[in-house]
């Protein structure tokens, strides 16, 4: 009997260690969006005239990590738009959106989460970390003499779309929120993707992943977007794409849980698209999506037909333009601008 217990205990320990390694790899550190991956050819600050959009770099602490943030539109006083980025992305990946808000009189605060780009952290830690980092960012805003008097608007995408709604479970003075492609909870998303990849075997691993998150995040792991939206009772706009292949609009998305949302100030926008890019680019124009599709087809042909392919050579050959690939959905963004303006 003792031998059996030792064997079972050893197996459980091995499973736990193995799950810890897998979990850490899933949230590996992100330095920059790779320029040779076309799908991630984001327009960034270094791509444009920086004198037109100057920025101030700031740093603040989230737990033991020092995080990097940037303030744009330093003289704007309409309000402060705080942007929370997606997984595998960086704050710079949202520069078209940053320019949009700055041009309309908003000040913008975009920051990199733990384990991303100029922020400290050997890895991103897990889904709840985005909420922890956003909470720290909002404390930084509240303690800043230059920012604390501005009405606060939150914008998040995917991981950030979860964060900007789940952080409403805390007591921050937020005026309005927009969530793109957000999910209700990291736990729900993990289970759905885990079962789709590992089938029944995932049920054996799930308790270990739960224990890992419990040890790392405590009660924060229980925070959901729905609870935050209902608790805050402020205007919240949920934007989702019908073809989202990562956060399903019928299961794990905040949109999928809309019947549970009792906040009378919540509104929902379903983007009817079928291009396969709805999760990554819910705020990009149809023209840009078509341009991306054509460019990707060209890139695939280039890789298949060229003996020594070079991303830089393809960019020259195709005459690829980041501006064309990153044009915003003007109608949607103006609607968001008005939504924020009306809730200052």
Give the pLDDT band (50/70/90) at residue 13.
Answer: low
Give the pLDDT band (50/70/90) at residue 1.
Answer: low
Report pLDDT for 33. Answer: 64
Judged by phi (left if over 0) then psi (alpha if -120 to 50, else beta), residue 115 lies in: left
107-111 and 174-180 beta bridge pairing: unpaired
Q: Could you tell me if 181 and 256 are in contact, meaning their C-beta atoms sit under 8 angstroms apart?
A: no
User: Tens of pLDDT along 287-322?
Assistant: 998 898 888 888 889 888 888 888 778 888 888 888
- Residues with Cβ within 8 Å of 41's Cβ and at least 6 positions away in sequence, in order, are 35, 320, 322, 325
Report pLDDT for 77. Answer: 95
Report pLDDT for 16. Answer: 57
Burial of 75 (0-12, 13-18, 19+ CB in 10 A): exposed
Q: Could you tell me if 142 and 306 are in contact, meaning their C-beta atoms sit under 8 angstroms apart?
A: no
Report pLDDT for 241. Answer: 96
Q: Could you tell me if 109 and 82 are in contact, meaning their C-beta atoms sit under 8 angstroms apart?
A: yes
- Which H or E run contains 231? helix 225-232
Full-prediction pTM beyond 0.95?
Answer: no
User: Tens of pLDDT along 176-220?
Assistant: 999 999 999 999 998 898 888 777 667 677 787 788 888 899 999
**Mean pLDDT (the chain, rounded):** 89
Q: In the predicted model, what is the mean pLDDT of residues 70-77?
A: 96
> Of 229, 242, 71, which is closest to residue 162 (Cα–Cα)?
229
Which of helix, strand or coil describes residue 304? helix
CATH node for 44-284: 3.40.50.1820
Report pLDDT for 8. Answer: 46
- Residues with Cβ within 8 Å of 224's Cβ and at least 6 positions away in sequence, in order, are 166, 184, 185
Domain extent listing, the chain: 44-284, 285-327
Looking at the predicted structure, is the pLDDT value of residue 67 above 90? yes
Residue 178, token pair as written in the block: 């927009």
Report pLDDT for 14. Answer: 57
Q: In the predicted model, what is the mean pLDDT of residues 1-10?
A: 58
User: Tens of pLDDT along 15-63?
Assistant: 555 556 667 777 999 987 655 454 557 888 888 889 999 999 999 999 9
Outline where DSSP puts E strands in 231-324: 236-241, 266-271
Burial of 204 (0-12, 13-18, 19+ CB in 10 A): exposed
State the Cα torsion 343-168-195-39 to the nearest 10°. Answer: 50
């Amino acid at each position: 009997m003792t031998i059996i217990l030792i064997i079972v205990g050893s197996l459980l320990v091995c499973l736990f260690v193995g799950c810890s390694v897998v979990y850490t790899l899933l949230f590996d550190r992100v330095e920059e969006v790779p320029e040779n991956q076309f799908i991630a050819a984001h327009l960034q600050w270094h791509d444009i005239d920086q004198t037109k959009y100057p920025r101030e770099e700031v740093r603040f602490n989230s737990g033991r990590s020092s995080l990097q943030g940037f303030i744009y539109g330093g003289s704007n006083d309409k309000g402060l738009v705080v942007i929370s980025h997606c997984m595998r992305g960086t704050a710079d990946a949202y520069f078209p959106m940053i320019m949009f808000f700055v041009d309309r009189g908003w000040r913008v605060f975009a920051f990199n989460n733990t384990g991303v780009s100029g922020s400290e952290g050997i890895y991103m830690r897990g889904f709840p970390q985005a909420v922890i980092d956003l909470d720290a960012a909002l404390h930084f805003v509240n303690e800043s003499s230059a920012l604390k008097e501005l009405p606060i608007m939150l914008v998040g995408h995917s991981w950030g779309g979860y964060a900007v709604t789940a952080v409403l479970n805390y007591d921050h003075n937020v005026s309005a929120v927009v969530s793109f492609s957000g999910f209700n909870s990291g736990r729900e998303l993990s289970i759905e993707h885990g079962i789709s990849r590992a089938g029944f075997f995932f049920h054996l691993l799930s308790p270990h992943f739960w224990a890992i998150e419990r040890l790392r995040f405590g009660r924060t792991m229980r925070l959901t977007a729905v609870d935050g939206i209902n608790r805050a009772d402020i205007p919240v706009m949920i934007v989702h794409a019908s073809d989202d292949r990562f956060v399903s609009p019928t299961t794990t998305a905040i949109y999928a849980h809309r019947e549970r949302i009792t906040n009378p100030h919540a509104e929902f926008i379903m983007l009817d698209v079928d291009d396969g890019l709805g999760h990554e680019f819910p705020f990009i124009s149809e023209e840009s999506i078509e341009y991306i599709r054509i460019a990707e087809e060209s890139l695939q042909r280039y890789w298949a037909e060229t003996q020594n392919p070079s991303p830089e050579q393809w960019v020259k050959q195709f005459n690829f333009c980041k501006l064309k690939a990153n044009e915003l959905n003007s109608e949607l963004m103006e609607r968001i601008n008005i939504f924020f303006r009306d809730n200052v």
